[in-house]
Amino acid sequence: MSDEDDLEDFDADQDDLEKEEDERETEEWEDYRKEGEDLPEEWLPTPLTEDMMKEGLSLLCKTGNGLAHAYVKLEVKERDLTDIYLLRSYIHLRYVDVSENHLTDLSPLNFLTHLLWLKADGNHLRSVRLNELPYLQVASFAYNQITDTEGISHPRLGSLDLKGNRIRMVTGLDPQKLISLHTLELRGNQIETTLGINLPKLKNLFLEIKDTGPKTR
């Protein structure tokens, strides 16, 4: 199946999930946020370990010239992780889920140049700035503390989920670089204007414009 077919399937699945689970998911994450307000800002350092990697790795595939094999999928959800530095060494990963941890930095992902799919929901990210990842098609950073949309320049990115963050204005989404982006999820932010959203392939845009009240003269 081609990458384009994969993305079409993803769109259909995402639409169904939005209709069926959006309200429930929002309520759950609001509870999560309220619980987090009572917790200290500094978490006990919990780095990703080799043992965690062994438990979370799956999907053995051919790599390179087809003579070698490596696991290309990693799921390490709800591990209280504060550091994923170890991922720098796992350059063959294509699917990564690091949701529901305490991450503030995703820079080790810059080394995963074969990455196709990324989910980092429910962390403590303030930025999604990464180096250009040439094959990344789907990325989700929902329910973090992200304040801007700078540093997103992945040419094959088709679906980007930023709902439930602290974004007020969309900036840095370069239409010359984001030539494949067709689905952008921005609900649950504090968006005041659609300025900055000028993407050639965009078909699905989900957002709520914040009501700033009556204008004074």
Give residue-wise pLDDT tens across range 35-51. 444 444 566 899 999 99
Inter-residue long-range contacts of 1-9, CB under 8 Å, 24+ positions, other chains counted: 3/137, 3/156, 6/137, 7/137, 7/138, 7/158, 7/159, 7/182
Range with lowest mean pLDDT among 30-39, 112-121, 192-201 = 30-39
Higher pLDDT, 215 or 79: 79
Interatomic CA distance for residues 113 and 136, integer angstroms: 8
- Give the pLDDT confidence of 82-101 residue by residue, as tens digits: 999 999 999 999 999 999 99
Query: Is there a contact between 92 and 113 (Cβ–Cβ < 8 Å)?
Result: no
Q: What is the pLDDT of residue 212?
A: 58
Q: Is 189 exposed, middle or buried (0-12, 13-18, 19+ CB in 10 A)?
A: buried
Radius of gyration of the chain (CA): 18
The answer to whether residue 123 scores a pLDDT higher than 80 is yes
Percent of the chain whose pLDDT exceeds 70: 77
Q: What is the pLDDT of residue 7?
A: 45
Instruction: Please give the mean pLDDT across all residues of the chain.
Output: 84
- Give the pLDDT confidence of 52-77 residue by residue, as tens digits: 999 999 999 998 777 889 999 999 99
Task: With CA atoms as reference, report the closest residue to 109 among 125, 82, 132.
Answer: 132
